[in-house]
Amino acid sequence: MKYSKLFTAAAAVAIVAACNAAYSQSYPTRAIRIVIPFAPGGATDVVFRMLTPPLSEQLGQSVVIDNRPGGAATIGMDVVAKAPPDGYTLGVANVSLGVNPFILKKLPYDTEKDFAPVSMVATITMVLAVHPSVPVRSLKEFIAFARARPGALNYASGGNASSGHLACELFMYRTGIKMVHIPFKGGGPSVASSVAGQTAIIFTTVPASVQHLQQRRLIGLGVSSLSRDPSVPDIPTIAEAGVPGYEFFDWQGVVAPAGTPPAIIQRIQQEIVKALASPELRNRIAGVGARTVGGKPEELGAFIKKELETWSSVVKATGIRID
């Protein structure tokens, strides 16, 4: 009896594995949707619109972008969490995935249980910039200017819990200055507002702002990485320009709904890594200020776990809340 049960269990596992393998061999048979929880025009959107054409070619099916902004990125991620786990809906996770559990009272999904990691894609440097009308041209000048006007200056970001919001909250915590947060529904609208002078200051990604920085429609005061960004080499790091030790970067990873067959996840991961290995794509992505990464599902899973641990501590220290 005992051996019969063991045989039945082993047979069941073998059948599931065989079905997964067969499914992965025929996958995909229709278009794949990548949900981006931000508006078009931001850094995440820019990078993934570069990535999707080679993915479409490699997979033999269309890979389409579905922008679902709002709710501090929870609207789009909820779409992914509740999608059928069949490999035809993927999502783009970033720093908001790690911080939202600690700054929102309630999430429509379980961050640790409802997503399956697929692959890291890129990391992105942030930049603190001001409209040319703001009478400062260095980070030290800006800090002094802002300290003298607590609560009088506003800064734009791509939304509550966006990378720009979190980077600026950390910056204010480290410098003791106070500014008013003006959230937009995506990086594109926030940058447009700052370029137009409707908001004086912005903490945004280099990809979303590099052209404006180069054409001096925005004045870059410091980048958030510990080394200068090659796409804007004349802008010093925030650490070297006056806030020692300051570091922050956004990241972009692909996740799938929990329960997606491992063989499907492996196929998608392999195609992402293959696409990112192309020198042409790597150079294009580097040209807008992002750095390609790639990687295995378990590596992204470990990184997300570390992000959750990090932001739990940071939120306790800063008191960041958005509801």
Q: Which of 185, 212, 241 is the last residue of a domain?
A: 241
Residues 118 and 72 in one domain: yes
Residue 155 lies in a domain: yes
3-state DSSP assignment of residue 4 = helix
Q: At what angle do helices 163-175 and 297-318 cross, to 10 degrees?
A: 40
Number of residues that make up the chain: 323
Residues 152 and 202 in one domain: yes
Which CATH number is 51's domain given? 3.40.190.150
Residues 172 and 233 in one domain: yes
Residue 231 lies in a domain: yes
Q: Which of 186, 217, 241 is the last residue of a domain?
A: 241
Residues 103 and 188 in one domain: no
Cα separations in angstroms, 291 against 165, 168, 225, 276? 21, 21, 12, 10
Residue 246 lies in a domain: no
Mean pLDDT on 15-26? 58
Which pTM was predicted? 0.77
Q: Do 119 and 269 meet the contact criterion of CB atoms below 8 Å apart?
A: yes
Residues 132 and 182 in one domain: yes
Residue 187 lies in a domain: yes
Domain count, the chain: 2
Selection from 210, 208, 216 nearest residue 230 by Cα: 210
Over residues 281-299, the pLDDT tens digits come to 999 988 777 889 999 999 9
The span from the CA of 91 to the CA of 85, in Å, is 12
How crowded is the C-beta side of 134, counted as CA atoms within 13 Å? 34
Residues 235 and 256 in one domain: no
Residues 211 and 111 in one domain: no
Mean pLDDT on 97-108? 93
* Residue 249: pLDDT band with limits 50, 70, 90: confident
Residue 269 lies in a domain: yes
Q: Which of 241, 271, 296 is the last residue of a domain?
A: 241
Residues 180 and 276 in one domain: no
pLDDT of residue 239: 97
Residues 130 and 119 in one domain: no
Mean pLDDT on 57-67? 98
> Which domain does 230 fall in, by range?
125-241
pLDDT at 3 over 70: no
Residues 144 and 179 in one domain: yes
Residue 171 lies in a domain: yes
